[in-house]
Amino acid sequence: MPRPIPVEEMVRQFKGHHRNSHIFRIDNFSLFGKYQIQEIESSIFDIGGHKWKLVLFPNGNANDNGKDHVSLYLGIQDSESRPSNWQVRLGYQLFLLNQFRQDWRMEQGNVVFNASNQKRGFSRLMAAADFLNPNRGYLVDGCSLFGVKILGMNDTKAGTAECFTLVEKPPNNVFSWKMMKFSALNRSSEYTSDEFVIGDRKLKIRIFPQGTTAPDKLAVYLRGVGLKNNTTPKAKCYTRFRLRVLDKIKGKHVAHSYTFWFPVEPGGHGSQGFMPLKDLANPSNYVVNDTLYVEVEVDVISTTKYC
């Protein structure tokens, strides 16, 4: 059964009709299973003077009796900036939009958020079999539309929406860095590459020539240093990537693979013991003409955009 209207128009209409709402659109849903992604977070969004995020378990939250279901939760943010006795009382609806008809699968609740209760939702929003059934209209062409509506807020605002997508082999997914005059580098210092962009993320390669906690090892990391522009939603970024130190003589590169959710704030991932420093001693296949070649290749990255 085809959609009665395009999904972009469906999102636009919902935002116009439902104030204090936020839609979490997800594309390429099948890739979550392919890469065994168990939990996805939305960006941080504002409703009623508070900051929120949605947390989705596409395969169910087994720790909350959600096996074989889709689980969805609402989490309040910025708790560290609140007084110790803070609380926020409200009603809310978590929903899953049907793309074949003007309908939504909705669960409603009331909650008092406080320091010990910062996330609330439904571990059994929908049975996985129903959600995955292409005839039901909740997952269409790899696209699903989750969301939240906050109830009883005096401070109302128009609905908002974001689109989360996993991208395989994104454009310009390989970045190479030549560390020239390698023998002259201060072994106890830290060095970073020029900034480059893959997907929505500004990234840098980060190297400690004498390791961090392992002084006889080279430490290599990929570090997220920001978002591509200020209009990008502040969201975590799922990334599968490989770091390599290149063997320019025999092609026997030293490579390690990683999976990491880059946070909104600067942060990174890699290895403190990437390879033994003795392998970089002269003569070396890895330091050629006093230059070390380091490379990152991103296989999968998530992008988040307003829609």
Report the chain's C-alpha Rg in angstroms.
Answer: 23
pLDDT of residue 2: 75
pLDDT of residue 146: 98
6's tokens: 């395009």
Q: Residue written as tokens 């560290």?
A: 80
- Tell me, yes or no, whether 99 and 223 share the same domain: no
Give dist(CA 56, CA 50) in Å, integer: 20
Is 43 strand, coil or helix? coil
Give dist(CA 251, CA 298) in Å, integer: 20
Domain boundary residue, one of 137, 165, 193: 165
pLDDT of residue 152: 82
- Tell me, yes or no, whether 139 and 230 share the same domain: no
Please state the domain count of the chain: 2
Helix (H) or strand (E) run with residue 131 in it: helix 128-132
Give dist(CA 64, CA 287) in Å, integer: 52
Residue range of the domain that includes 178: 169-306
Distances (CA, A) of 261 to 41, 85, 142, 303: 10, 31, 22, 12
- Tell me, yes or no, whether 23 and 150 share the same domain: yes
Answer whether residue 1 is part of any domain: no
- Tell me, yes or no, whether 190 and 154 share the same domain: no
pLDDT of residue 186: 87
DSSP-assigned letter for residue 140: B
- Tell me, yes or no, whether 130 and 185 share the same domain: no
pLDDT of residue 153: 77
Q: Is 289 exposed, middle or buried (0-12, 13-18, 19+ CB in 10 A)?
A: exposed
- Tell me, yes or no, whether 176 and 302 share the same domain: yes
- Tell me, yes or no, whether 157 and 268 share the same domain: no
* pLDDT tens, N- to C-terminus, the chain (307 residues): 678 889 999 999 999 999 999 999 999 999 999 999 999 999 999 998 899 999 999 999 999 999 999 999 999 998 777 888 899 999 999 999 999 987 888 999 999 999 889 999 999 999 999 999 989 999 999 999 999 999 987 777 899 999 999 999 999 999 999 999 998 888 789 999 999 999 999 999 999 987 777 788 999 999 999 998 877 899 999 999 999 999 999 999 999 999 999 999 999 999 999 999 999 987 789 999 999 999 999 999 999 999 9
Give dist(CA 96, CA 182) in Å, integer: 55
Question: How many helical (H) and strand (E) elements, i.e. helices and strands, does the chain have?
Answer: 3, 20
- Tell me, yes or no, whether 173 and 246 share the same domain: yes
Give dist(CA 255, CA 153) in Å, integer: 52
- Tell me, yes or no, whether 198 and 291 share the same domain: yes
Answer whether residue 2 is part of any domain: no
pLDDT of residue 251: 94
pTM of the full predicted structure?
0.92
Amino acid at 115: A
pLDDT of residue 154: 74
- The CATH number of whichever domain residue 137 belongs to comes to 2.60.210.10
